[in-house]
Structure 1
Amino acid sequence: MTVEPTAAPGGLAGRFRRGLWLSLLNTLLSRIGTFVMGIVLARLLVPEEFGLYATALVVQGLLLAFNDFGAATAVVRRSGDVRPMLPTAWTISVVGGAIAFVACALSAPALSTALGSPHATEIVRFLAINVLLDGFACVPGAMLSRELAQARRLVADLTGTVVNLAVTGVLAFLGAGAWALAIGHVSGTAVVVVLLFVLSKHWPRLGFSSEYFKEVGGYGISVVASSLLLMLAQSVPQMVTGSVLGATALGFFYLASNVSNWPVSIVSGTVERVALAVFARARDNGTDLDRASGGVMGLVGVAVLPGGVALALLAGPLVELVYGHQWVPAALVLSGLAIAAIGRVFADMALNLLLAVGAPLSSALIQLSWLVALVPTTVAAAHAWGLAGIGWAQAVVALFVAVPVHLWGLRRVGVGIMSLVRGILPSLLSAVVVAVGLVLIRVFSTSPLLSVALGGVFTAAVIAYGWFRFRHTLDSALLPTG
């Protein structure tokens, strides 16, 4: 199966928008289900149980960063007929997943203890099954992304989410504690993998070619390094919280981290499924990537910047209203995490652009500089200010280290800074409008419910206006040059 050629100049923009809307629907439905289940679980489980599960997720995330050794990225970005590469990509991803699974099973006690939750050892081992399953999902998922076939991806992901939530809810109600979350997660992943096989019409077919192994491996080493460093940067606050403040504080952090990702992960999860494929196809079509990156990032920023600012300003009333009084400490860290998440979305976009132009090593060096700044800042803030310090340490590093360094990396591969600034300027103005409006709402509101309701409606209105006002700029941004 190969990518359909873009028949008209505006064809890629149209396919991007269709893929974006379907991917957005996918993400929204998944997040709504997770949000509702989170409310239920917060009243069935105690913070320590969330902390045990969060420890296992950190380990899983680190393993997922490198278990396919860049095979998925190589499949998505490759020009021309990708079918001869697939057997080698299957072998790399499946063997990589198996190696990561065994490594986790053996190191689970040490990893759990290092993260401050030694009782999470068995949950870590069980959740590592997802890493093994992900090795089988790599090629069919990459082919759907390459083809911008988000309708089929929606079916697989949504079915998996339903299974995950159903199993988790039943087991939590029966008193399974943190195991309910782990078993539900693995069950949902297994369903997604089977559906990806069926919907992509790509079944496991192992093979080996030294030519393609060198192509995937040579490119994959830098991709893996970049992804692993990015995952470490995202996992540092959880690691520090668990090791310095304990499992209960990690439970509060886990809840705050989930909430901070609502507006940002909706956009990030939506764009992640289509961004690399669009940038790669734009490259193949002769589109000016300087112009394309400004258009795509500008459109994404219309939602990310106002949404992140709104969540930071409404953190206190939102946590109290939705989760109850026992979770109020989570609001201390939420505001900073909401601001940091904005920088993370633009970092993900920059990563996809660097991968599309074949500069993964530059991305790896960028992620390394982010990590080097983040570790000491987070540790110092945790000791000095506790949970709140951890949240704002992420915001400071994201805004004053990660964003400037990513801009430098893009400039090195020929993406002009002024193009990006022009692209995101409407987003910055929208964020200022939201900030002023929400400050006034907080001043005059009389209850958490009123603050959240009015603030949510106002923010949604600003985002909707920005989207419809600037959505057509993408057509000219993705036009081929010449």
Structure 2
Amino acid sequence: MHNTSLKTVATKGIFWSAIDKFAVQFGQFFVSIVLARILVPEDFGLIGMLTIFIGLSQIFIESGLGTGLIQKQNREAIDFSTLFVFNLAVSGIFYLFLFFAAPFIASFFKQPQLIDLTRMLSLNLFINAFGIVQRTKLTIAIDFKAIAKSNVIGMIIGGLCGVIFAVKGYGVWSLVIQILSGSLASSMTLWFFSSWKPSIVFSIKSFNSLFGFGSKLLIAGLYAQLLNNIYNICIGRFYSSASLGFYTRAKSFADLSAGTVVSVLQQATFPILASLQHDKEKLISVFSRMIRMSAFFIIPFITLIALLAKPIVLLLFTEKWATLIPLLQWMVFARIFYPMSVVNMNLLNAVGRSDLYLKVDLSKFPLTVLAMIITIPLGVKAMIIGHVITSAISFIINAYLPGKLYGYGPIDQLKEMLPVFGATIVMAIPVFIMTYFFENLILQLFIGGAVGVLTYLLICWLLKLEELKEVLELILKFKKTSELVK
């Protein structure tokens, strides 16, 4: 790609990816607030117990083949057909596995209702498998506009169905209905927006080519899924479903704050980074800007949520969720380095080094196990605090190889984040004072939030941060960008 066309494509991709992620994430967040006010923590805990099983199955179905197809330079029609046939076959196998494993899952968590919940929720695997190739095709074409429309439609339909059934008294089943209806609507619209039509053809040669890259991502994905949900397993097994419900809500809120920005950067920039894998100078330029911009948004946002956790929880979720407050405060700090960690790992995939991606991921396993052993007997809050510590160490591990390969490692990245950390600390002081000065929760939330944002922007302006300048330029060019992406 030429510089001008690359910039245009990247701008369009990031623009529509941002609309997609923010619309979907905040739409789902709004729906979750409504559902949390109707349902009880135990309902969310029951779904949380099944997350690991559905998640691991989904990783097997995808097997990194879609990412391998995006990274591959010379793609053929047989590659897409092979991916489609593989997805459907494996989704069917795993649905049958979970169907017959449901009684054992229910027995493990000592929750009999999980039998029917597992068998119904597992249908989501088959539904999602139908849209993987279409999503991959659109990603390769950097057509995030179509993907955004598909995801938003799925979010709206799923949210409406979930709320309607919750109001009618279906309890935990309203969450299942929300997931299934949303996935079905999203997959159907992907077929509508994609011109690709399947052919039931499977090539061993094509599969081996894609799996050579994807196999490392499969193992890494399984490991990451297990790592991300191991807390769900432990809390669900050793504590109550209500405790797991509080934990999953805290995790969802934290993922909303950090995960949304990560999703935008990861989806929109992966094909761009992959196209630059042979141009080291441009690759590092894009990579370093992603690190700095991620820190610019995430670090102050995370801190602001922690400071305003009390009014956020009590106003949005009501008093019955008060136990969530300290868990949320710690959980968001466990996500403070998450965007930068993901960007570092994403670079390895973009340049075709999925083998290194896997090695880095596996190297963090002993750290997580040690933290779990120490904190499980101490309670859910202690487990989250342990997660905060391991997340910070994981960032250093994740940034090590990019440092060795491209000379931009953890020390360099942290140095570039120092002005953001300084501005955030200054911001936190008046916000902390505001939470004690005002007793009214609404005033705490809105005045504290406004003071925090204005203080942070003022300090960034005084420090003359390049990221603030770029954001202001993007805002000024918003109308021009809007016309570009139409």
Per the alignment, residue 359 of structure 1 pairs with 353
In structure 2, relative to structure 1, the CA distance for the partners of 1:284 and 1:195 (3 Å cut) is farther
Q: For residues 320 and 180 of structure 2, what CA distance do their matches in structure 1 show? A: 29
Per the alignment, residue 453 of structure 1 pairs with 446
SS at match of 1:342: coil
Between 339-348 and 65-74, the greater mean CA deviation after superposition? 339-348
2:148 aligned partner, one-letter code: L
Contact 1:98 1:135 in 2 (8 A): no
Per the alignment, residue 480 of structure 1 pairs with none
Q: For residues 390 and 280 of structure 2, what CA distance do their matches in structure 1 show? A: 36
Per the alignment, residue 162 of structure 1 pairs with 156
Q: For residues 414 and 287 of structure 1, what CA distance do their matches in structure 2 show? A: 9
Q: CA deviation at 1:39?
A: 2.1
Would you say how many aligned residue pairs link Structure 1 and Structure 2?
Answer: 466
Q: For residues 357 and 159 of structure 1, what CA distance do their matches in structure 2 show? A: 33
Q: CA deviation at 1:431?
A: 3.1
Q: CA deviation at 1:205?
A: 2.4
In structure 2, relative to structure 1, the CA distance for the partners of 1:473 and 1:67 (3 Å cut) is farther
Q: In the TM superposition, what whole-angstrom CA distance separates every residue of 1:369-422 from its partner, at most 9, and x where no partner exists?
A: 3333223413432321x221122111111012x111101232344352165346
Contact 1:335 1:392 in 2 (8 A): no
Q: CA deviation at 1:162?
A: 0.8
SS at match of 1:191: helix
Per the alignment, residue 469 of structure 1 pairs with 469
Q: For residues 10 and 20 of structure 2, what CA distance do their matches in structure 1 show? A: 15
1:262 aligned partner, one-letter code: L
Q: For residues 200 and 287 of structure 1, what CA distance do their matches in structure 2 show? A: 34
2:424 aligned partner, one-letter code: A
Per the alignment, residue 390 of structure 2 pairs with 397
**2:447 aligned with 1:441, yes or no?**
no
Per the alignment, residue 140 of structure 2 pairs with 146
SS at match of 2:337: helix
1:390 aligned partner, one-letter code: M
Per the alignment, residue 130 of structure 1 pairs with 124
Q: TM-score, normalised by structure 2?
A: 0.89
Per the alignment, residue 320 of structure 1 pairs with 314
Q: CA deviation at 1:83?
A: 3.8
Q: 257, 264, 269: which is aligned to 2:263?
A: 269
Q: TM-score, normalised by structure 1?
A: 0.89
Per the alignment, residue 252 of structure 2 pairs with 258
Q: CA deviation at 1:250?
A: 0.7
Q: In the TM superposition, what whole-angstrom CA distance separates every residue of 1:265-322 from its partner, at most 9, and x where no partner exists?
A: 2212222321321211222566543332111221222212211122222222321221
1:428 aligned partner, one-letter code: F
RMSD, aligned CA: 2.5
**2:34 aligned with 1:40, yes or no?**
yes
Q: For residues 340 and 103 of structure 2, what CA distance do their matches in structure 1 show? A: 35
1:148 aligned partner, one-letter code: I
Q: 203, 215, 218: which is aligned to 1:221?
A: 215
Contact 1:315 1:335 in 2 (8 A): yes
2:291 aligned partner, one-letter code: M
Q: In the TM superposition, what whole-angstrom CA distance separates every residue of 1:326-355 from its partner, at most 9, and x where no partner exists?
A: 101111211121011223322322232111
**2:427 aligned with 1:409, yes or no?**
no
Contact 1:230 1:367 in 2 (8 A): yes
Contact 1:71 1:92 in 2 (8 A): no
Q: In the TM superposition, what whole-angstrom CA distance separates every residue of 1:43-89 from its partner, at most 9, and x where no partner exists?
A: 22111111112222332222222211111101211114454421222
* 1:63-462 correspondence to structure 2 within 5 Å: 63-115=57-109, 117-283=111-277, 287-384=281-378, 386-400=379-393, 402-414=394-406, 416-417=408-409, 420-421=413-414, 424-461=417-454, 462=456
Contact 2:45 2:245 in 1 (8 A): yes
Q: CA deviation at 1:104?
A: 2.0
Q: CA deviation at 1:430?
A: 4.1
Contact 2:162 2:177 in 1 (8 A): yes
SS at match of 1:283: coil
Q: For residues 448 and 11 of structure 1, what CA distance do their matches in structure 2 show? A: 49
Q: In the TM superposition, what whole-angstrom CA distance separates every residue of 1:76-131 from its partner, at most 9, and x where no partner exists?
A: 11114454421222222222222222222222332344356443232122111122
SS at match of 1:470: helix
Contiguous gaps of at least 5 residues in structure 2: 475-486
Q: For residues 430 and 264 of structure 1, what CA distance do their matches in structure 2 show? A: 18
Q: For residues 133 and 421 of structure 2, what CA distance do their matches in structure 1 show? A: 38
Q: For residues 205 and 278 of structure 2, what CA distance do their matches in structure 1 show? A: 22
In structure 2, relative to structure 1, the CA distance for the partners of 1:35 and 1:278 (3 Å cut) is same
Per the alignment, residue 478 of structure 1 pairs with none
2:232 aligned partner, one-letter code: Q
Q: For residues 97 and 300 of structure 2, what CA distance do their matches in structure 1 show? A: 41
* 1:42-57 correspondence to structure 2 within 5 Å: 42-57=36-51
In structure 2, relative to structure 1, the CA distance for the partners of 1:425 and 1:254 (3 Å cut) is same
